[in-house]
Structure 1
Amino acid sequence: MPQFFIEAPTGIRPDAKQTMMQDITAAIDEAYHIPDVRIWLREYNAENVAQDGRIQAEPVRPVCFLEAPELHSIDARRTMSNKIQAAISEAYRGLANTDETLILMNLYPLENAGFAGRMQSDNPQFVAALSQLNV
């Protein structure tokens, strides 16, 4: 159920996009071991992105958002972030300023996540899986 959103410039090649999506999925799956990782790519033309109030002043700096359950291990988050950064850098080489990609992690307790008509905190399998992950 982890959701990952990428805000980045247009122009990525289809094969680079596929590889990036696979690598990001693998990084998130390695950290969480939770199925149903979804990635949402939102692309913008450079003339629709302002940085410090200036349009097209510099290459676009991608920004990413991870919406997922709590993950207590800073090492797991650090490793995941590094692998995501590497995947985005490879895919957007020459198209964006990937040295300054921002990855924001919004991590939620299970009582703040509903899925399929019930709270995740009411799903014993999910509670057990997350408890084992956050030992």
Structure 2
Amino acid sequence: MPVFTIDAPQGARPDAKQKMLKEITEALDETYHFPDTRGWLREYPAENVSQDGRVGAEPVRPVCSLEAPELTNLDAKRKLVQKIESAIGAAYAGIANTDEVLVLVNHYPLENVGWRASLQSDKPEIVAAVAQLNA
């Protein structure tokens, strides 16, 4: 169920983007052990990005927004963030400010996620997986 979106500048090579998306998916799978990880990449021309109210004044700083089940283990979160930043940094080196990748981790309790016509909190296998994840 983890879902991620990357907002970044245009210019990365297709093979670099594919590798980045694969590495982020693998990092999420390793962390959460959940089925159905989804990822989107949104790229923008630099003239369509504002940073601190300025357009084109500095290289774009990529953002990764992560929507996922609750994760209480801070070490697991740190490791995940490092892997995400590393993957984005490799794909956008020389194109973006990869020293300042922002990773936003938004956690959802299972009763706030619908999947396969019910809430995830209604699925014993998902409840058990999150319990084990946060043990």
- TM-score normalised to the size of structure 1? 0.98
- Count residues in correspondence: 135
- Residue aligning to 2:61: 61
Letter in 1 for 2:82: N
Per-residue deviation at 1:53?
1.1
CA distance in 1 between partners of 2:49 and 2:113 (Å): 31
Q: Which residue in the other structure is 1:102 paired with?
A: 102
The runs of at least 4 aligned residues of structure 1 exceeding 3 Å deviation read none
Q: C-alpha separation between the residues in 2 aligned to 1:117 and 1:48?
A: 38
Q: Deviations over 1:86-126 (max 9, x none)?
A: 00000000110010000000001101111121110001111
Which residue of the partner structure matches residue 35 of structure 1? 35
What do the CA deviations read for 1:11-40 (whole angstroms, capped 9, x no partner)? 110110111011111111111011211111
Q: How far apart, in 1, do the equivalents of 2:117 and 2:37 lie?
A: 19
1:84 aligns with 2:84: yes
Q: CA RMSD in A?
A: 0.7
Indicate the residue corresponding to 2:15 in structure 1: 15
User: What TM-score does the superposition give when structure 2 sets the normalisation length?
Assistant: 0.98
3-state SS, counterpart of residue 17 of structure 1: helix
Match for residue 4 of structure 1? 4
Runs of at least 5 residues in structure 1 that lack an aligned partner in the other structure: none
Residue 2 of structure 1: CA displacement?
0.2
Paired amino acid for 2:71: L
| Alpha-carbon distance, 1:4 to partner | 0.6
Partner of 1:71: 71
Structure 2 unaligned blocks of 5 or more = none
Give identity over the alignment, percent.
Answer: 63
